[in-house]
Structure 1
Amino acid sequence: MSVKAYELVQIIQRFSSPSGEKNVKIECVECSGKYVFIGTSDGHVVKYIVHETTAKSNIGSPFTYQREGQRYFDAKKPVRSIRAASALEKLLVLFDTTLHVLNMNDLEPIGSRLKSVQTFCVNENPKCSDPFLFQICVAPVSKGQVCIYNVTPDDKINLSNTYTLQEPIKCLSADCGIICAALQDKYIILDCDHGQVQDLFPFDKDAFTPYLCKVAKEEFLLSGPDGLGIFVCAAGTSNRPPLQWSYPLTSLTFHHPYILGVSHEIIMVHSIVDQQQKQAIPFLGGQLIGNYDGHIYVCSQTSLNALVPVPWEKQVEALLVDEHVEEALSLLEKVGNSGHLVGQIDPVKKRFKQQAAFIYFSRSELEIALDLFLDAEVDERELISIFPRLMPSATTFLRTVPPLHNIADVNQLFHGNEQRILEAKQFLLHFLQMAHDSRKSSYTVEIDTALLKLYAELGQNKDLESLLESASFSGDVQSCLAWLKDRGLHHARALLLLQKGNRSEALSLWCQMISGELFDSNFKGISFFADVLKAIGDAEVLWQYADLVLDNNEVDGVELFIQNQTAGTPTPTMELDPHTVADYLQRYPKALILYLEYLINEKGIEEEKFHTQLAVQYIDIIAKQKTQDTGSEVDLNENIQRLRRFLEKSNQYRSKFLLSKVRDLGLYQEVAILYGKVGT
């Protein structure tokens, strides 16, 4: 047993017939709104008005009742069944084997009657769009038939269709176009749309009384041999495991999400979710139980009682305490939204869903947990807090009181199982990524702090760097820096420092990585450092670190001084004097050549000094290759060609100054070009 779903409350302690006869029994019950109709063994239909009050009566019941009227048929025969057509204000009464139609208000007979009726049921979901259509399925006496009738607003019972069966029907239930029935010794399913009959399973007609009820669309519960309750759908198959009754049935009904069965000793409450018995209510002499217009009434031969649902909040709370989470959620789905607007979530339901999410999380059923966490809009800190050290160091967060769960932390929860803990961390990472991307949460400091720490711990370095390069990152700096330092992630530390404006500390860290004092495989080297310096756009900082970059790589170093500006990009933040830069780069010949080529070819500067200086650099390279025999013949020829192209193209250099240098190298074609430039 896991939950108290219902309380048994007495309405009529001892029923007495209008005839005054003793030993009159209650045979059947029906309800329409506040009216209750009782059929008796001495041929009466008695109408009561029942009120539920806040004050209890002298028998301790919140119900009061008053007799409103009765209809008498014949004392020798019982009233076997009553069904209300509330929309039509009619009662259908099966007395002996005749089906009568009564006016619900005064119980006077109206319209036609049907004779030779063994039993009947109401199809509450007929395949018809007429809201006033009241359809019944009738089993004739001693005939292997089932007949479909429509009860009309003008008090007629019109035959719609007839289906032939192998045997007469004992009891039946219908939904949409499907009829489930117990014949003399077996259950069958009838598909009215196609006229097909399918046998289900047999039973002993002499030792077994069949019972059945509808539990869902085109799905029925049948009482089976050996105390089994067997679910059957329209296809004749079962989509749920059977349930086991603990006592022999005398009647059954369904009230979502519970199946209610009554015996001579107890009322049994089973969940349709897991088919387990959830509650047993002592009740001697139980004969009849039914879901009447949403009211659950249970009768002995002489008393009428109500099963009053325990408030859904208490049921759900008890189910969650026992971790019957599927049942709790199923019950929540059935509950309304307590007056809240469409799209808003009832705070009570939200809390229950959050509790359910933590239960699924503790079971490592993470996909279900994620859906519930998102649907219930859980405070992200509740989840982060069960992972040690992921919260900011100065957090003031306290878990919800009363608590949503009893998890101390994931290490305790999973008993140190590394695989399950890893899966939990990956789950949290995914959850927080969604929260970070949506930017809907108010707890960005906690979310970003935990994200950084998880990226670092799980080795997701690209994601870590993307997070730190984001302008919206708002994690706790001190705890994040300590976390990164402990894991040797110096490059990420520098990114974080730079993002938070601690430029000098960030650059110092990168310098230590360049020098080899610190090591981090994620650091991309001198080219990255050069890009950072350019992005900073501060000339003082650039000059401070230029030698470091150039000493390591002249090609990367010269990029510090080249302002790459393309269409749509802003104006460069630094304007460096070309003369100063060119003079500074004298110690770095390769960088100097690249810079001069940039000034002349890209910037279009026509100053004689720069053109002459570039030609001299080309000539010096060729001279070095010739005199020191360095480089290959191919390299030498390429450098000569580069000089030749430049001499032919440019008109801004000092030709006479270059002549002697070129002539000494034996570059006669270049000498000829220079003579041509000076006009000699």
Structure 2
Amino acid sequence: MMSTKAFTLVPAVEWNLLLGEQERVHIECVECCGQNLYVGTHDGCIYHFLLEERTLPVGTATFTATKQLHRYLGARKPVSELRAASALHRLLMLSDSCITLADMLSLEPVPSGARIKGALAFTLNENPVSDDPFCVEVCIISAKRRTLQVFLVYEDRVQILREVSTSEQALAVAVDGPFLCLALTTQYIILNYLTGIAQDLFPYCSEEKHPIVKRIGRQEFLLAGPGGLGMFATVAGISQRAPVHWSENVIGAAICFPYVIALDNEFITVHSMLDQQQKQTLPFKEGHILQDFEGRVIVATSKGVYILVPLPLEKQIQDLLASHRVEEALVLAKGARRNIPKEKFQVMYRRILQQAGFIQFAQLQFLEAKELFRSGQLDVRELISLYPFLLPTSSSFTRSHPPLHEYADLNQLTQGDQEKMGKCKRFLMSYLNEVRSTEVANGYKEDIDTALLKLYAEANHDSLLDLLVTENFCLLTDSAAWLEKHKKYFALGLLYHYNNQDAAAVQLWVNIVNGDVQDSTRSDLYEYIVDFLTYSLDQELVWKYADWVLQKSEEVGVQVFTKRPVEEQQQKSFNPNDIITCLKKYPKALVKYLEHLVTEQKLQKEEYHTHLAVLYLDQVLQQQRLGASSKNTEASETQAKLRHLLQESDLYRVHFLLDRTQGAGLLMESAILHGKLEQHEEALHILVHELGDFSAAEDYCLWRSEGRGPAYRQQLFHTLLGLYLGASPSAQELSVAAVDLLNHHAAEFDAAQVLQLLPGTWSVQLLCPFLMGALRDNIHTRRTTQVAVGLARSENLIYKYDKMKLKGSSVCLSDKKLCQMCQTPFCEPVFVRYPNGGLVHTHCAASRRSNPSSPKLGTRT
């Protein structure tokens, strides 16, 4: 165990000052109360000294003892015990089994001659049971065998309070309140002298070992246990602290929190009550007295008196930290809480935690260091300042004084070891990332975020981008220079954007895409720029780079205009006509944008619909001129879009497009355009006779009749049937198409009219589906009509029944009956009665007939 300098042994009274040339005289006991030091000798003499304490410039304490007087007791027997009762200004002296009272200054016995006889040993109760402030409680081991007595001692008299018996002879005693801690012949016990209840502690052999019983606090005692153990015991008979290991030959013990001090024949040993470890050993031969008095520890030989002066706890803690004994320092610091004012302790303890954190940090114990930094509320800039160039130039931070550690910077701490330096930087990244969102960062956010950015950039860490796209306080000047130094141009653009410098950000990203600067952070940087411009509110910036993004890719670049936020589109911040003018040089982009206006935004403007249709038409015609196969995917898609637009839109210029399709071989498109002009015969003629697409002809009838009445649809189908039947008899295909049309759409035809048109050569079996469908439809219509007539008749019968009921009931008038029109009582028997039972005056009824908008009561009866 490494030693700790907790105490310094300082002489208090030398032999020549005490006894001069009387070499045969020996010190038997000592007592200290304030500056008063009393020494009792074996020849019955008591010496009184005044102690003056001084602190030397080097920090050590010295004592000067001034002899006041001495006095011999009458019997010239050894003075075995001395106790001062400062409240009574009395000194209690035990000699020759008798306790006498004397004045503390003159050492003269009290005039009353009060004394206690038959005492082998005694002690004062520092936690008295009595509330009387003019007395002290004294417990004595009586000369009577196996008896203890408790006395109340006043200035000039004594009064016995209690006498208790024990099973064995008591050898030593300590008192706390009503509890006596006794060392009997074979064991230690706790005895409550008020109740008589005894609690056994543990055995020991008095023949082999000198018993020690010491009160160390409220209801707690220190005992010399078996096996060289210093045992702690409470009045409940339990131990709340682990024992300390001291010598088998201990002859005295004292407490100076947080230390237990033990004396044997050769040494003074110091143990911590906090971790039970031995902290210091002081050589001290021939010592036989060790006692503590109000925090002052006195040790004596037979020839001299010495004082163990404790070093300040702060000095002890700093010495432990200097030796890198972190755990011991922290345990001692926690134990010092009871001896230091709360505010001072908190400041001191935080600093100790911070110092301990840096010690652990230097040893690369990062988890322990992090916890200590957090608990100590470390100013995080203390840690950042260890790393060269991480603090921003704007920071006004200066390190704590006195310093929390002994290192100039990270290079000195790691001695140039790159592996250790890398570990330290990774720790700082982790620690700063954790504390940047806590109260620790308050006031230092710029320092933390700037340092974090520099670490991320240097380490090529993925979190660099996360830092820059969220709220941060990175100093622009320092961060920009650092990112440029490490060639993090994309991240630099994000930094510019966060600081509202979008133009600089986009220009930097454009340079990366163009190859002017090298940065492989994002392989999709072009798409990122397009997305950035899409959501940018700076129109000038969007127009500035519109040509650049379109030149790179028309299909992707046009998203700058087509994928803008819905709110912005609703505000129409960009004029579509301006965009169309810009896109004239980019035909693919222009088509995409017009599709966006027509199909997505659904703008109802003829010019956009016509323009889009013309562009589709031009593409189809161009593909035809280039000899594109009908199976060409792109050609098929464009033509399908054209047909869909022609069918769905009602806003384009039909005649203009119809002229463009003439002679171009676009028969389907021509049919659709004729249909838009209600030229159904021309449209169906193209579909049937020129294209020969019978399913398209049927679809045409369904398309054009959508949303129209049944008569309109029937007319279209009859027109198509007429085209089929009007062909030459040899046109077998059209006959088959006519049969299929009738059989598949029987409900769309007037059966009687169709039967008159059909050739007589067609069999009933051929038209069986049509005939069955027509018959079923006819039957359904007839039965539906019958149901409707029946319901009407039922409703009429119900109405007639209600009317007859009203006619058969009597009418009673009274003043309580009110006219339902004017709300006045019937004062004359002239009224009109309505079918619903309502009554009105005749003049109200006349008014009702002249003003039809008045409330409707029913039919007059």
TM-score (norm 1): 0.72
**Residues 482, 71 of structure 1: CA spacing in aligned structure 2 closer, same or farther, 3 A cutoff?**
farther
Give 1:197's aligned residue.
Answer: 199
Q: 2-side partners of 1:230 and 1:175: how far apart?
A: 17
Q: 2-side partners of 1:64 and 1:154: how far apart?
A: 30
Contact 2:299 2:308 in 1 (8 A): yes
Q: 2-side partners of 1:241 and 1:251: how far apart?
A: 16
1:474 deviation in Å? 2.0
Q: 2-side partners of 1:135 and 1:631: how far apart?
A: 112
**Residues 150, 469 of structure 1: CA spacing in aligned structure 2 closer, same or farther, 3 A cutoff?**
farther
Give 1:507's aligned residue.
Answer: 506
**Residues 382, 628 of structure 1: CA spacing in aligned structure 2 closer, same or farther, 3 A cutoff?**
same
Deviations 1:595-623 (A, max 9, x none): 4159945xxx6554345446667888999
Report which stretch shifted further, 308-317 or 331-340: 331-340
Give 1:630's aligned residue.
Answer: 633
Match of 1:9, SS? Answer: strand
Say yes or no: does 1:289 pair with 2:290.
Answer: yes
Tell me which amino acid in the other structure corresponds to 1:356.
Answer: A
Give 2:582's aligned residue.
Answer: 584
**Residues 655, 195 of structure 1: CA spacing in aligned structure 2 closer, same or farther, 3 A cutoff?**
farther
Contact 2:12 2:305 in 1 (8 A): yes
Q: Give runs of aligned pairs for residues 444-523 of structure 1, distance below 5 A.
A: 446-456=447-457, 461-462=462-463, 464-467=465-468, 469-474=470-475, 476-477=478-479, 480-481=482-483, 484-485=486-487, 490-499=489-498, 503=502, 506-511=505-510, 520=520
1:526 deviation in Å? 4.8
Give 2:859's aligned residue.
Answer: none
Paired residues, number: 657
Q: 1-side partners of 2:131 and 2:484: how far apart?
A: 69
Give 2:733's aligned residue.
Answer: none
Q: Give runs of aligned pairs for residues 321-470 of structure 1, distance below 5 A.
A: 321-333=322-334, 342=343, 352-374=352-374, 376=376, 378=378, 380-387=380-387, 390=390, 404-407=404-407, 409=410, 413=414, 422=423, 425-426=426-427, 429-431=430-432, 433-434=434-435, 437-438=438-439, 446-456=447-457, 461-462=462-463, 464-467=465-468, 469-470=470-471
Q: 2-side partners of 1:477 and 1:51: how far apart?
A: 64
1:579 deviation in Å? 0.8
Q: Give runs of aligned pairs for residues 669-680 of structure 1, distance below 5 A.
A: none
Deviations 1:22-72 (A, max 9, x none): 85544433444333444554556665543334699xxx9543445389795
Q: 2-side partners of 1:135 and 1:251: how far apart?
A: 24
Match of 2:475, SS? Answer: coil
**Residues 532, 631 of structure 1: CA spacing in aligned structure 2 closer, same or farther, 3 A cutoff?**
closer
Give 1:11's aligned residue.
Answer: 12
**Residues 274, 398 of structure 1: CA spacing in aligned structure 2 closer, same or farther, 3 A cutoff?**
same
Q: 2-side partners of 1:554 and 1:176: how far apart?
A: 94
Give 1:545's aligned residue.
Answer: 545
Contact 1:392 1:479 in 2 (8 A): no
Whichever structure has more helix as a proportion of its residues is 2
Tell me which amino acid in the other structure corresponds to 1:510.
Answer: W
Q: 2-side partners of 1:204 and 1:97: how far apart?
A: 25
Contact 2:317 2:329 in 1 (8 A): yes
**Residues 509, 479 of structure 1: CA spacing in aligned structure 2 closer, same or farther, 3 A cutoff?**
closer
Q: 2-side partners of 1:16 and 1:320: how far apart?
A: 41
1:322 deviation in Å? 1.9
1:282 deviation in Å? 4.2
Deviations 1:614-645 (A, max 9, x none): 66678889999996663899999999778766
Deviations 1:209-240 (A, max 9, x none): 13354567766554455655455677745754
Match of 2:290, SS? Answer: strand
Structure 2, unpaired ranges of 5+:
679-703, 713-861
1:592 deviation in Å? 0.5
Say yes or no: does 1:256 pair with 2:254.
Answer: no
Q: 1-side partners of 2:526 and 2:346: how far apart?
A: 54
Deviations 1:170-216 (A, max 9, x none): 3355678987654323445679999673544x444222213354567
Match of 2:308, SS? Answer: strand
Give 2:719's aligned residue.
Answer: none
Contact 2:535 2:564 in 1 (8 A): no
Identity %: 28
Q: 1-side partners of 2:177 and 2:676: how far apart?
A: 101
Structure 1, unpaired ranges of 5+:
none
1:294 deviation in Å? 1.7
**Residues 619, 271 of structure 1: CA spacing in aligned structure 2 closer, same or farther, 3 A cutoff?**
farther
**Residues 207, 510 of structure 1: CA spacing in aligned structure 2 closer, same or farther, 3 A cutoff?**
same
- Greater C-alpha radius of gyration: 2
Say yes or no: does 1:301 pair with 2:302.
Answer: yes
**Residues 218, 595 of structure 1: CA spacing in aligned structure 2 closer, same or farther, 3 A cutoff?**
farther
Q: 2-side partners of 1:401 and 1:579: how far apart?
A: 69
Q: 1-side partners of 2:671 and 2:30: how far apart?
A: 122
Tell me which amino acid in the other structure corresponds to 1:197.
Answer: Q
1:519 deviation in Å? 6.1
RMSD: 5.8
Q: 1-side partners of 2:370 and 2:133: how far apart?
A: 41
Q: 1-side partners of 2:42 and 2:506: how far apart?
A: 97
Contact 2:414 2:420 in 1 (8 A): no
**Residues 288, 498 of structure 1: CA spacing in aligned structure 2 closer, same or farther, 3 A cutoff?**
same
Larger RCO (alpha carbons 8 Å, 6+ apart)? 1
Q: 1-side partners of 2:511 and 2:317: how far apart?
A: 59
**Residues 514, 368 of structure 1: CA spacing in aligned structure 2 closer, same or farther, 3 A cutoff?**
same
Say yes or no: does 1:315 pair with 2:313.
Answer: no
Give 2:771's aligned residue.
Answer: none
**Residues 490, 130 of structure 1: CA spacing in aligned structure 2 closer, same or farther, 3 A cutoff?**
farther
Q: Give runs of aligned pairs for residues 142-161 of structure 1, distance below 5 A.
A: none
Q: 1-side partners of 2:578 and 2:520: how far apart?
A: 35
**Residues 468, 276 of structure 1: CA spacing in aligned structure 2 closer, same or farther, 3 A cutoff?**
same
Deviations 1:369-398 (A, max 9, x none): 335435555454442354577566999999
Give 2:35's aligned residue.
Answer: 34
1:244 deviation in Å? 4.1
Q: 1-side partners of 2:569 and 2:221: how far apart?
A: 72
Q: 1-side partners of 2:541 and 2:30: how far apart?
A: 92
Contact 1:135 1:151 in 2 (8 A): yes
Match of 1:287, SS? Answer: strand
Match of 1:268, SS? Answer: strand
Match of 1:359, SS? Answer: helix
Deviations 1:257-294 (A, max 9, x none): 33322334443333445545444444443222222112
Tell me which amino acid in the other structure corresponds to 1:308.
Answer: V
1:583 deviation in Å? 3.1
Contact 1:2 1:279 in 2 (8 A): yes
